[in-house]
Every structure is written in C-alpha cells, then in structure tokens.
Amino acid sequence: MHPTVHSFRTSGGVTLGVEHFGDATAPLVLLAGGTTILSWPDALCEALARGGRHVVRYDLRDCGASTTVDPESPAYTLRDLAADAARLARELDDRPAHLAGIGVGGMVAQVAALDYSDSFSALTLAGTRPVAPGPVDDDLPDHDAATMGRLFSRSMPDWSDRAAVAEFAAEGAEILGDDPAAARTAAARRWDRTPGTEPAVQMANQLGMVFAKLDCAPRWRERLPELAIPALVVHGRRDPFFPVGNGEALAREIPGARLLVLERAATAIPDAAAGEVAAAMLALY
C-alpha cells in the first residue's frame, strides 16, 4: 500500500500534489520530484521515515497531481519553482527542512537553497548538474550523444494507452541503464496520477519536457560557494544523461559537500541503493 497523494495549496496560490511518509511531528525531509514524486523510490522514502524523519515528496507544477495549466508554455520560471519549495517547507513545518532534489528537481533545490537559505537546514542533490537545461559549461560533461540519439529517436507512444506508455518508459530505462521493470511500474503509476488525457499533459508528466521550456535565468552556479548548510551529492557512475562529472563539480563547489557515487546506478536511484542513500542523508544532521 502506498501513502495517499493529496493536494496542498501553498500561500502562493499553487496546488501541489504531496505524499507523506513517517511521523508528521518529526524533522521534515522535503523531496522535490524530477518532475513527479515517483522520481523518488518508495524504498528511499520509507528508509528515511524509519530513520525518524517526516518525508514529503511532491510533484512540480504541471506534473502529476500538481497545478496543471499549459505544460507546452509554462507561465512561471525556475525561481517560481524554488519559491514553491520554500513555501511548502515553511507551511509543513516551522523548522528549517532538509531539501532534496533529483534530476531537474535538483536544479530547483539548488536555487531554493540559495534564495531561501533560512528555510533549509540541509541539501541533497541527486543526479543533477549546476547549470540549467541548454548549452552546458565547457568544464561539465554533456549528455552522452549516442545514448540521447537512441533515446529521442523513438516514436512517441499513444499517450492515452497506459500499457504503451509504461512500455515506452521501460525501453527508455533500458537505453539509459536503469531498471526497465521498475521504470515500467513507475510509469504506470504516473499515468494513473496524470490529470486529463491530452497528449501534451502526458508528455510533460512522463518526460519532463515542460522543464526545457522554462526561463531559468539568471545563472546560479557561481553562487554555490555561498551555501552554508550540510550538503550531499548523490550520482550514478553510469549516468549518461547527466554524467558523473556534473555531480563531482557540485561536490567541489558546495563547501563541505559529500559526494556519494553509486557505482552500479545510472539516472535513477535503485531500490538496492536506497538504504545507503538514506543513511547518508540521515547523517547530514
């Protein structure tokens, strides 16, 4: 049985899909999806809850159970998504929260921790990089071209067909080096949670295409040395989307950050690594 996903309306007027694990009075760990809550494996959320944390994972805007308006033309910026994280953290607990972001959610988390430093006590960044979508800095490894060619040359599925969407996700996971069975299950669950049946909405939820259209200016990489909270950077050694050099750069540029490289992982955190990642997150504070 999975915890119930419900809507949470922030003081900024945005409705976010959230899911809770553990004791609501325990210290908060807020997990920004990349893009939906299912980017964070159940096993990791459960391990953190067993470790004495109130775990809340949430969907970014235009994803899952969160406010969905027009994923093809988002009327908000990366800074707005960072503000969502800060508002949600403050409204769930009056104590500073441990913020974590995975993939594009990791970009949201970096900006949130920089712009709203009083709201957060620790930071975990998984499978992400220190710059926005688009041209990469010369010192950072870009997406693996051959893998991206295979991934994005495929024909799109019928987004109204649950089984086809799940199979499409499984094939993509195999290309990326992730677990196809886990991806198939997560995609089916994500499809069940997607509001409406418009293909554009489905694509935004499944592939995070909405994020590529966001205004992510100004840059934040040069501000990373300002971070003064404990930080953990988690990265898969085999990640072809954001190669591990991106995680290494984050760990170098955030003062005192610990780098945890998952030797057998690619873009996703495998269930087998959930205990190790949870222990490292719990050790931050």
Q: What is the pLDDT of residues 81-129, one digit of tens each?
A: 999 999 999 999 999 999 999 999 999 999 999 999 999 999 999 999 9
And the tokens for 261?
């490289």
Residue 197 pLDDT greater than 50, yes or no: no
Average pLDDT over residues 195-205: 52
pLDDT digits (tens, 9 = 90+) for 42-76: 999 999 999 999 999 999 998 888 887 777 788 89
- With CA atoms as reference, report the closest residue to 83 among 59, 105, 111, 58: 111
Q: Which 8-state DSSP code applies to residue 117?
A: G
d(CA 284, CA 238): 25
Output phi, psi for 102, to 5 deg: -120, 140
| Model pLDDT, residue 209 | 64
- C-alpha to C-alpha distance for 118 and 95, rounded to whole angstroms: 9
Higher pLDDT, 6 or 4: 6
Q: What would be the CATH architecture of the domain defined by 5-136+194-282? A: 3-Layer(aba) Sandwich (3.40)
Instruction: Give residue 71's pLDDT.
Output: 73
Give the span between the Cα atoms of 25 and 52, in whole angstroms.
10
Cα separation, 62 vs 74, in Å, equals: 8
The pLDDT value given to residue 201: 53
232 class by beta-carbon count within 10 Å (0-12 exposed, 13-18 middle, 19+ buried): buried
Mind listing the pLDDT tens digit for each residue in 212-256? Answer: 788 999 999 999 999 999 999 999 999 999 999 999 999 999 999
pLDDT tens, 149-172? 999 999 988 888 889 989 999 999
Residue 58: in which H helix or E strand, if any? strand 54-58
Average pLDDT, the chain: 92
Give the containing element (helix H, strand E) for 32: strand 28-32
- Residue-range domain boundaries for the chain: 5-136+194-282
Q: Each residue of 20-30: pLDDT tens digit?
A: 999 999 999 99
